[in-house]
Amino acid sequence: MNQKSNFYAVSAVVMLGILVGLSLFTFSYAQGASYLSDDPNACVNCHVMREQFDGWNRGSHQAVAVCNDCHTPHTFPQKWIVKGINGFNHSWAFTTGNFPNTIQIKSFNAQVAEDNCIDCHETMAINVHGSGDKETLSCVACHGNVGHGR
């Protein structure tokens, strides 16, 4: 936890600068402003997110969770920092075209998603993550399909 908040603190400063720079290019054209909303349509603005969007539309969470419920932290200001980082990363990657053909979630974002599973399903999944410092089993190892399938 401690390490995490340190990370967020440093990132907050860095992001401030980057966000400013960002607005100068692609960001606004790719409807970057809508990136800051929670509307899944904001994500499909980039057609590379189309598969996930389609999957999510058919998936078990369509009615209960939007992209950002899983992909950004549920707390302030972490939510906005992560949005900033990813908003920048995605725009940058999209503009340069420098990203893998098959997008793979990075471990940082995978952790954000798993924390969110637990946030919503804490009661149900108490035995999976346990209490205290018990190692948590990876939700995605068994529930790889819930977000948008594969």
Partner 1 sequence: NINQRKQEAVQFPLKVVEIAAGELDPAVWGLNFPSQYDSFKRTQENYGETPYGGSEPYSKLERYPAMIRLWAGYAFSKDHNEERGHYYAQIDQENTQRVQIVNQPGACINCHAAEAPGLIAEMGWENFNHTPYNDLKDQLHFGSSCADCHDPVTMDLVITRPAFRNAMEQRGIDLSQATRQEMRSYVCAQCHVEYYFLGDNKVLTFPWSQGLTIDNIEAHYDSYGFTDWTHAETGAPMIKIQHPEFEMWSTGLHARSGVSCADCHMPYVRAGSVKVSDHWLRSPLVNVSQACQTCHNRPEEELTERILTIQNTTASLLRQSEEAILAAIDAIVAAREAGVTDAELEEALLLHRGASLRWDFVSSENSTGFHSPQESARILAESINLARQAELAAYKLQAGK
Binding region for ligand HEC (CB under 6 A):
30, 35, 40, 42-43, 45-46, 48-49, 52-53, 56, 60-61, 64-65, 67-71, 89-91, 93-94, 99-100, 103-106, 109-110, 113, 116-118, 120-121, 124-125, 127-129, 136-144, 146-148
**Chosen from partner 1, ligand HEC, none, partner binding at 149 (C-beta under 5 to 8 Å by type):** partner 1
* Helix H or strand E encompassing 32: helix 32-35
**Chosen from ligand HEC, partner 1, none, partner binding at 147 (C-beta under 5 to 8 Å by type):** ligand HEC
- Nearest-angstrom CA–CA distance, 110 and 120: 16
Q: Is 51 helix (H, G, I), strand (E, B) or coil?
A: helix
Token duo for residue 95: 């503009």
- Nearest-angstrom CA–CA distance, 75 and 63: 21
Residues that bind partner 1 (CB under 8 A): 26, 29-30, 47-48, 94-95, 97, 100-102, 104, 122-128, 131, 134-135, 137, 141-145, 149-150
On the question of a cis peptide bond just before residue 100, with omega within 30 degrees of 0, the verdict is no
- Nearest-angstrom CA–CA distance, 68 and 59: 15
Comparison of 12 and 79: residue with beta carbon closer to ligand HEC: 79
